[in-house]
Structure 1
Amino acid sequence: MTKVINRSKIAAAVVGIMAVAGSATVAANVDLSRLQAEQTETHRSSAQSQERIDSLFEQSRELLAEYRAVVSQTEALRVYNDHVERLVNDQNETMESLQRQIDGIEETRRGVVPLMYRMIDSLDEFVQLDVPIRSENRANRVERLRGIMTQSNVTDSEKFRQIMEAYQAEMDYGVALNAYQGDLEVDGETISVDFFHLGRVSFLAQSLDQRNAWRWDNDAREWVELDSSYLNPLTQAIRMARNQTQVDIVRLPVPAPENAE
């Protein structure tokens, strides 16, 4: 009886130990699951944190790149602004220089216009006192110059150019060998003649029938008839002036030189 009781106690003790061991195993399993869950949560949180860190790092890189771009643009704009400022300063200086030149031109213009009128007056007086070579054409040119002086659509530079051309034409008369036809008033009679001039040294006229000839006396301001000995030489000179024959020496009347006082 006693052995049975002991065995029962032993069996109960074994069952108790097994129950405790089972409880411990269950508890250990619960703790392990919790640890695994916490570890998983920790890994997930770490992954999320890493993602946030990576995102913040990428954002910081983008911001840094934008900052550098802004700094680069700012520096480029500063250099460009400095360049534009120098250009503006140079343009302002150029404008001031041009304005000074314009003011100077206006002052020059106020002086040139009276000068041109005096030049035309002098040219007119010269034509009236000079040997009357193509006198009508020269007088018309003077009048034309007076006319353009009052035309607002003709610039001052063009007016001055035409006046200078007229002076050049007058200079050319002094060196030209020329012959042309025209009319000559002699004793109230109009005669068609060939005019011939050797510069301003000799100004002659010969009737078209080559029977009469005259020379211009500038002191007396009149035509003087030549004797017949000059008819053939004058005819030859007229032909030379028209390139109808070779240039040769001919005998023509010229004014006697004045004695120097």
Structure 2
Amino acid sequence: MSNLKNAKCVMMVGVATLAFAIPAVAQSSGQLDDAMRRAKNSTAASAASQERVENLDDQADAAAREYSALLQQVDNLELFVARQDLYLESQLSEMRSLERQLSTIESTKQNMVPMMLKMAYKLEDEIRADYPFNLDERLHELEVALMTLSDPAKSPDDQYDQLLKVYRNEVVRGRDLAAYEGPHPDDANQTVDFVNYGRVAFLFMSKDEKEIQRYDLATETWQPVEENLVLEMRNAIRMALGETGDSLALVPVKVTN
């Protein structure tokens, strides 16, 4: 009987121990699940945190690259501005130089007209002292130049060109062999052929070729050509008129000391 009671007691103790053990195991399992959940949540949080860190790092890299690009743009702009400053300074220097030149040009322009007038009057003196070939035409050209010089609407360039044209024409006339018709020096009703050999000689011949005279600069008169030169003069005048081919021509030249 006693043993039976003891056995029951042992069984009851074992049952009680088992009863106590089951809740303990259940409690441990719950703690494990909770720990696993916390670990999982911690891992997810760590991953999210890492992702945020990596995103921030990428953003930082992008910002650094953008900042570097901005710095490069700033450097480029500073270089551009510096170059523009140099260019503008050079332009300003050139403009100042041009202004000085323009002021000089204006002064020169003011002095050009009096100078050109002196040139024109000097040329008129030379024409009137020269052989009087085509005299009316030459004086008319000079008169046109003088009118241009007195016209304030004409630029100095136009005035100078007009005067230079007269000078050039005179140079050509001094080199050319030219012939033209005109009234007889002593008889306006009679037409004769005038011939000038540059500024070497000036002659005229009547249409019937009987009268040939040369102009004497010293006396400013017409003089008959010497008898021994009449034939040569006829040939020379015919050649100047284009009636014969070019050949050697003798002309009377008076040499003065």
TM-score (norm 1): 0.90
Deviation at 1:173, TM superposition (A): 2.9
Contact 1:215–1:223 at 8 Å: present in 2 too? yes
Structure 1 counterpart of 2:53, which letter? I
Helix, strand or coil at the partner of 2:185:
strand
Q: Indicate whether 1:224 and 2:248 are aligned.
A: no
Contact map agreement 1:130 1:218 (CA 8 A) in 2: yes
Distance, in Å, in 2 between the alignment partners of 1:126 and 1:249 is 27
Confirm or deny: 8 A CA contact 1:201 1:254 kept in the other structure: yes
Counterparts in 2 of 1:246 and 1:128: CA distance versus 1, 3 Å = closer
- The C-alpha deviation readout for 1:90-141, integer Å capped at 9, x for no partner, is 1111111111111111111122111011111111222222210110110110
Q: Which moved more, 1:237-246 or 1:112-121?
A: 237-246
What SS does the aligned partner of 1:178 have?
strand
In the other structure, the counterpart of 2:182 is: 182
Amino acid in structure 1 at the alignment position of 2:74:
T
Q: Point out where structure 2 has 5 or more consecutive residues left out of the alignment.
A: none
Matched residues, number: 256
Following superposition, the deviation at residue 204 of structure 1 comes to: 0.6
Say whether the 8 Å CA contact 2:235–2:249 is kept in structure 1.
no
Aligned residue for 1:254, secondary structure, equals: coil
Residue 235 of structure 1 corresponds to: 234
Q: How does 1:199-218 map to 2 (within 5 A)?
A: 199-218=198-217
Q: Which runs of 5+ in 1 are unaligned?
A: none
Quote the offset at 1:76 in angstroms. 0.9
Q: Residues 189 and 225 (structure 1 numbering): CA distance in 2 closer, same or farther, change over 3 Å?
A: farther
Structure 1 position 38, deviation (Å): 0.7
Once the two structures are superposed, residues 11-42 of structure 1 have per-residue CA deviations (whole angstroms, 9 ceiling, x without a partner) of 11110111111011111111101101110111
2:256 is matched with: 258
Aligned to 1:133: 133
Q: Is 2:58 the counterpart of 1:51? A: no
- Secondary structure of the 2:138 match is helix
Corresponding residue for residue 5 of structure 2:
5
Instruction: Find the aligned partners of 1:246 and 1:26 in 2 and give their Cα distance.
Output: 146
- Percent identity, please: 26
Kept after mapping to 1: 8 A contact 2:148/2:162: no
RMSD between aligned residues: 2.0
The CA distance in 2 between the partners of 1:152 and 1:121, in whole Å, is 19
- Distance in 2 (CA, whole Å) between partners of 1:50 and 1:189 is 124
Whole-Å separation in 2 of the counterparts to 1:142 and 1:249: 32
Counterpart of 1:68 in structure 2 is 68
CA distance in 2, matches of 1:258, 1:57: 110
- C-alpha distance in 1 between matches for 2:17 and 2:11: 10
